[in-house]
Amino acid sequence: MSFLFGSSAEIDIVLDGQASRKQAEIKTEDGKKEKLFLYYDGETVTGKVNITLKGKKLEHQGIKIEFIGQIELYYDRGNHHEFTSLVKELARPGELTQSTTFDFEFIQVEKPYESYTGANVRLRYFLRVTIAKRLTDVTREMDIIVHTLSQYPEMNNSIKMEVGIEDCLHIEFEYNKSKYHLKDVIVGKIYFLLVRIKIKHMELAIIKRETTGSGPNTFNENETIAKYEIMDGAPVRGESIPIRLFLAGYDLTPTMRDINKKFSVRYYLNLVLVDEEERRYFKQQEITLWRKPDKGATKKPGYVSFTPHSQQVES
Amino acid sequence: MPQTHQLSPQEEQEKLLDEAMQVVKVQSFQMKRCLDKAKLMDGLKHASNMLSELRTSLLSPKSYYELYMAICDELRHLEQYLHDEFQKGHKVADLYELVQYAGNIIPRLYLLVTVGVVYIKTHEANRKDIIKDLVEMCRGVQHPLRGLFLRNYLLQCTRNILPDCEESEEFGGTIKDSIDFILLNFSEMNKLWVRMQHQGHTRDREKREKERMELRILVGTNLVRLSQLDSMTQDFYKKNVLPGVLEQVVSCRDYIAQEYLMECIIQVFPDEFHLQTLNNFLRACAELHKQVNVKNIIIALIDRLAMFAHRDDGTGIPNDIKLFDIFSQQVATVIQAREDMPTEDIVSLQVSLINLALKCYPDRVDYVDKVLETTVDIFNRLNLQRLESSSAVNKELARLLKIPVDVYNNLLTVLQLDHFSPLFEYFDFESRKSMTAYVINNALDNNMYIPTQKQVDSILTLVSPLIQDQNDQPQEEEDPEDFAEEQTMMGRFINLLFTDDPDQQYLILTSARNHFGNGGNRRIKYTLPPLVFNAFKLAYRFKEVAEEDDKWDKKCQKIFRFCHQTIGALIKAEYAELSLRLFLQGGLAAGEIGFENHETVAYEFMSQAFSLYEDEISDSKAQLAAITLIIATFERMSCFGEENHEPLRTQCALAASKLLKKPDQCRGVSVCSHLFWSGKTIESDGKEIRDGKRVMECLKKSLRIANQCMDNSVQVQLFVEILNRYIYFYERGNEQVTIQVLNQLIEKIRDDLPNLEGNEETEQINKHFQNTLEHLRMKQESPEPDGPTYEGLVI
């Protein structure tokens, strides 16, 4: 077709320092995983655009590169909400007579949100090179991944709560924090203050809730990310059961609240007790997940333990 | 029609176990294959699959145990593999964290333990923190059976790698960490074990208790492990171990657990430790569940310590430990704390205490008495009445009282126990008697002399059921043979009432006389004769010390008065023959001892014998026997002057000739002949009187009487007997007896013998005669040099 629409060209985007840049995985819409280059908020994005001519020359109405951050709601495919859109002109309208390389540079780009692929929503960042032509533009997109990093939260109280069903079951649970980073470990304890039901086992689940839309058109999508048995058998009054759940092994993202007024991703710890008749008693608590900068390995050992601030309930 | 086969519970179990074992086989095979190919993560996945079989709730403890053992075997491969890899430097980062991603808790914790152990063995991480973490994480398994086995796995795996030193090497931890670790594991396991009791239907209780008994060793292993720590000291044990163990045992309030664990503590820890912690241990005993058999626990401890005190290599009980006082006090507390303790158990405890006292403090009689005193006090408090001989309390009490008897083997020591005899009051008649017999038999077996009047008095008071009738004695007569045996035993016992001091001996005899005198007619027959004999013996002893004791004459007279009076008691009870014999014996003794006034005494005794003969003995056979005895005794005596001798011997001859039956007369008179030959008087100066004429008269008279016999057979027999006497006197040199007399009698017998009927009796008479002739023939052929001649004798 090139002879009809004028000779075409291949566009190739090469990021600076590609060889040493970290990559990260993200799900694509069809559920597969792909590895993309990883950027952080405020980081400059620089690179080169190689345009390889397929013919002798290429007439164009201008060449530009854009840096776009957008939210796609699956039920509203037509509308993409761009929250970031930066443009750099690479060439004024004219003619390329040979394959050319353009440098580009988006200095200290604001990347306020984390890349995300969910059940109903996707948040992506990509570079788009457009060679404007009279009939059809030639474009080339390249997705990158953005991780939003947080500092240690200043306030990070433990979650402690007494719950129960009157005269039936009374427990007190305690998670050591309310905010966990993605490689963190949840440590906690469950105290049984009163047990009159025949408990079979107890598990801790991590539930991800993705909320899209607003008002009456709010969609909630719950997904159980982890199901973790923490107790086998029936405890008696006075028992305290330890909890230790490593998060690194699960597919988690930071908590996202009201991202660009379009969606939220929240995480909950769901404590579930199952009795012998398979009845389930549960209590959900929201936890905040955040991404911690990778700074070498200052990992805690696998046997990190929890020092409860209160002693076991006297029997 | 297809039949549906209903599986029995046992078949069901086998089937379930079989299925589980199949899975284990397949998964472990896969696991090993993956490990061989260095695919660790896949290997762990199969290990986890295999371990998931342990999540079952369907297996009985026994089947679960089999499954557990099979899986443990396979886990050892995994551990070995990881260990080898770590040693080679192929460390898998975060393995400890990695295995914690397993979603199910049972496989997760088994893997965690396995990896944790590898970490410790390869010094990958802080041993102290790991064991602490493992034992804490195991709390997640609250199911009793599964939890018990998981924790058992933990205990088994950490067996040889627990910190066991007092000073920490780097971060390895010290014995204190090991103690905390095991104690926590122990408490948790015990709680799980106790919890089994309360799960499920009440009707399955028995089955459940059986299952619990099968599992108890799992809990007990914790204590074994504690005891195996090399650097465990008494101090650690006292301060860090025992309080924790006891706290758990007491607070679990489960009698099965309490009974087992207390026993366990006693068995697994060394005696030296127990000695240091007696108060703590015993105090805990008082707090145990009321169904717990505390008695057995305390007894087990006492027995162990008693054995320890006796061990050859041991240093014995340290002086600073007042073992007996502690036990005594704590046992009292236990008894007080447990109001519903059966009395027999209380007594059993006293039994142990007494054993303890005897084994550890053999010379502390006061300890033994203290136990008895406590027992008396308890009985008083309980207001106990007579204990039935079949009752358990009675049996225990008997056991209690037999111990000092058996151990001391010394009745005198037993007598030092002030509270020994008061306890006899609680026995019913039957057991009181058998107990007293036991005491007496012990004295007899050990030939135990009782040397003072006071002691004699207390013993005889103690054993009064054997001496006199009791208020609570049953109406019916007892078995005569048993009675005879019992009283014969008392007769033997009287011989043990002995001291070297004659004066004291006299007091002993009078005291014994007072006791036995109350025995009633049936008993005195057995008991007074030995007393009389002992009195005679005592008189001989006084004679021996005559030179040192100038009052010996008086004392001997007193003794004979005592005897006279004692024999009198027997006469009153109508034991005429017995009394007669005692009088004769007394006469003989008096004659031999020769104290002042002895002739009068001897005469009195002889005359008493005569009057008994005359008044009381009526049976002709008995009469003959009695008169023979009197004559024989009299023949032996040499204390009489002619004045007394004459009437006595005349009386003998008269009595003999007055016997009813002719053969008796004949024999009696012929026996009398000896009085005139070998009898002695003061005038004959102790020599035989040898009145040949009177001898001959006697023999002639007896021959005459024999002639009057109607029965030929008896007559010939008498002739032979008389012939023998003739020969005797002939040989003794009585000149009145001549060859002619002998020839006459021999001929007479020869004539009469063939006329007798041929029977056994005749045969015997003939034999007697032939033997007599044979004797004469021998004498004739080879006469003794100073003997008489047999010339002219016709044989």
- A246 and B100 in contact by Cβ < 8 A? yes
Cα-Cα end-to-end distance for chain B: 116
The distance of B292 to chain A (nearest Cα, Å) reads 23
- Which of B103, B129, B136 faces A228 most closely, judged by CB atoms? B103
Residues in chain A within 8 Å Cβ distance of B143:
232-234
Question: What is the amino acid identity at position B25?
Answer: K
Helix axes B175-196, B242-252, angle to 10 degrees: 10
Are B623 and B678 a contacting pair, CB within 8 Å? no
pLDDT tens string B225-272: 999 999 999 999 999 999 999 999 999 999 999 999 999 999 999 999
Considering chain B, what is the average pLDDT of its residues?
91
- Which of B97, B146, B147 faces A302 most closely, judged by CB atoms? B97
pLDDT at A154: 87
- B125 and A227 in contact by Cβ < 8 A? no
CB-CB neighbours of B56 under 10 Å: 17
CB-CB neighbours of B612 under 10 Å: 24
pLDDT at B192: 96
A306, pLDDT greater than 70? no
B312, pLDDT greater than 90? no
The residue in chain B having the minimum alpha-carbon distance to the alpha carbon of residue A231 is: B140
- B142 and A302 in contact by Cβ < 8 A? no
pLDDT at A302: 67
Residues in chain A within 8 Å Cβ distance of B95:
302
- Answer whether B107 touches A (CB < 8 Å): no
DSSP for residue A312: P
Task: List, in sequence order, the alpha helices (H) in A248-288.
Answer: none
CB-CB neighbours of B657 under 10 Å: 16
Residues in chain B within 8 Å Cβ distance of A249:
101
B93, pLDDT greater than 80? no
DSSP for residue B239: I
- B195 and A236 in contact by Cβ < 8 A? yes
CA B382 from chain centre, in angstroms, equals 28
Residues in chain A within 8 Å Cβ distance of B130:
303
Question: What are residue A246's DSSP bridge partners?
Answer: A185
A309, pLDDT greater than 90? no
Tokens representing B631?
């004559």
A315: pLDDT confidence band, cut at 50, 70 and 90?
Answer: very low
- Which of B130, B132, B141 faces A232 most closely, judged by CB atoms? B141
Cβ-Cβ contacts under 8 Å between A and B: the total is 73
Q: Where are the beta strands (DSSP E) in A92-198?
A: 94-96, 100-106, 116-117, 121-131, 138-147, 159-165, 169-175, 179-181, 185-195
pLDDT tens string B646-699: 899 889 999 999 999 999 999 999 999 999 999 998 888 888 888 899 999 999
- B144 and A249 in contact by Cβ < 8 A? no
The distance of B131 to chain A (nearest Cα, Å) reads 10
DSSP for residue B241: I
B445, pLDDT greater than 60? yes
pLDDT tens string B553-609: 899 999 999 999 999 999 999 999 999 999 999 999 999 998 888 999 999 999 999
The distance of A201 to chain B (nearest Cα, Å) reads 9
- Answer whether B189 touches A (CB < 8 Å): no
Helix axes B598-616, B642-657, angle to 10 degrees: 10
- Which of A233, A240, A242 faces B143 most closely, judged by CB atoms? A233
Q: How many CA atoms lie within 13 A of A83 on its CB side?
A: 18
Per-position b or e across B61-74, b if 16+ CB within 10 A of its CB? bebbbbbbebbbeb
